[in-house]
Amino acid sequence: MSEINPCAAPRTVHVGTASRSYDVHVGAGNLDDLGRVVAGTGSSRACVITETNVGPLYAQAAETSLADAGVDVTDRLVFPAGEASKSLAVLGGLLEGLAERGLTRDDAVIALGGGVTGDMAGLCAALYLRGIRVVQVPTSLLAMVDSSVGGKTAVDLPAGKNLVGAFWQPSAVLADVRCLASVPHELLTDSCGEVIKHAVLADPALLDELTERPLNAPGTDEGRLVDVVTRNVEIKRDVVDADERERGLRQTLNLGHTIGHAIESASDFTLGHGSCVAAGLCMMTRASARRGWCTSETAARIERCVAAHALPTGCDLPADLLLHYMAHDKKRHGGSVNIVVPVEVGHVEVRRATLDELRELVELGREEVR
Ligand SMILES: NC(=O)c1ccc[n+]([C@@H]2O[C@H](COP(=O)([O-])OP(=O)(O)OC[C@H]3O[C@@H](n4cnc5c(N)ncnc54)[C@H](O)[C@@H]3O)[C@@H](O)[C@H]2O)c1
Ligand SMILES: O=C(O)C(=O)C[C@@H](O)[C@H](O)[C@H](O)COP(=O)(O)O
Ligand SMILES: [Zn+2]
């Protein structure tokens, strides 16, 4: 999808959370640099964890770079691609694999893939030997802009998304936007849901630019991808630096997720995470407009950007089914669940809603805003 742009200069964003500081390297064609980055973390051995789609495309290049930098490379661990692998069973197999390879606390896991791989390999690294290094190498746009940064790792349970996990910050992140050239168009589109979320949270100008020039349009060049990924990482960095453990400000990163995660589970993962976030964001925004928490112009502005990317602006799954999953939301407190309300573009507020209020919000969120 992207044209090679020799002017896509690499960028570095520094993340400084309470538990660990690290650099996020964003570039075009910088996968070759992985070995130097991993060696810089002090790791002497590394095991690439990847999945069946991404492994054949990029694992050899990653391992060659590691070996060239003097890092001892173990046999890679490969699991089946897709959200269904975010399970305790697959996690257990990966942990056994690390033990079989004899990884020690001097070594590193390389998470090579999209958000599923980042969440799985990150959780392996958090648990194995009570914690070894992980270097995140995101290959989907969603993983570059969101999941590789900030240290949330998780697997799903049948009861819902990400219900078992840990905060475990990476030791470094390397995002090569050239890897996006192999991403199918519908998956690139899906990832745009989290990009739009970040723009709504913190960058009104970016939201309007995305509406004018959707990121999934043909011909988006590497320079723009480096710019947009970098800006998104900065937005997320500003939040996780201030609140690593989601005691306050970080809860805002859940914008669109209360309803979005429920749609994702209720659709049996036939819809991608970013698409569900986009739908959840639009539904919460429309409901907020109906409640008078934001203006109808704010709701329309957000929806225009989502629609410009051909992402879903709502869902018609039964409210009861969505409520079933929202009741298992990890941000539940007693009979209430946290919701993130878009008050205006660039300003959101975390509030609590009872399950009855959530049901009303879901119904309001289905209605057109006049
Ligand atoms: N930890 C966090 O902070 C965080 C943030 C957002 C999302 N997430 C999680 O991330 C997951 C969604 O991430 P995702 O959309 O990247 O899913 P994914 O990892 O399943 O990747 C989506 C699809 O794209 C393929 N793919 C990835 N990179 C590719 C490439 N370069 N070329 C060709 N195909 C490629 C994958 O094989 C997969 O089929 C969800 O599980 C979500 O819960 C976590
Ligand atoms: O990093 C965060 O914090 C986020 O909330 C980012 C979200 O995009 C991501 O989907 C996250 O995994 C959701 O968090 P959860 O705690 O609701 O599982
Ligand atoms: Zn998300």
SS3 state at 122: helix
Residue 3 has pLDDT above 70, yes or no: no
The two three-digit tokens of residue 131, written as one number = 């914690």
- Quote the ligand 3 centre to 214 CA distance (angstroms): 19
**Residue 223: closest CA among 32, 14, 28, 30:** 28
Interval 284-309 mean pLDDT: 97
Would you state the pLDDT for residue 367?
76
Domain residue extents for the chain: 11-187+220-237, 245-366
CATH number at 245-366? 1.20.1090.10
pLDDT tier for residue 73 given thresholds of 50, 70 and 90: very high
Q: What is the mean pLDDT of residues 27-39?
A: 98
Least confident among 82-91, 268-277, 287-296, 359-368: 359-368
DSSP 54: T
Least confident of 7-11, 246-250, 340-344: 7-11
How large is the ipTM?
0.99
**Mean pLDDT of all residues in 70-75:** 98
Task: Report the topology of domain 11-187+220-237.
Answer: Rossmann fold (3.40.50)
Tell whether the torsion through CA atoms of 206, 147, 1 and 10 is positive or negative: positive
For residue 5, what pLDDT is reported?
56
| Residue 170 pLDDT grade (very low, low, confident, very high; cuts 50, 70, 90) | very high
Give the atom of ligand 1 at the shortest distance from the alpha carbon of 52. Answer: 37
Residue 205 is inside which H or E element, if any?
helix 204-212
**Closest ligand to residue 115's CA:** 1
Q: In sequence order, which ranges of 141-202 are alpha helices (DSSP H)?
A: 141-142, 185-202
Hey, whose CA ends up nearest to atom 15 of ligand 2?
Answer: 162
Q: What pLDDT is attached to residue 370?
A: 59
Give the chain's mean pLDDT.
96
Q: Is the CB of 341 under 6 A from ligand 2?
A: no
**Are 11-187+220-237 and 245-366 in the same CATH fold?**
no
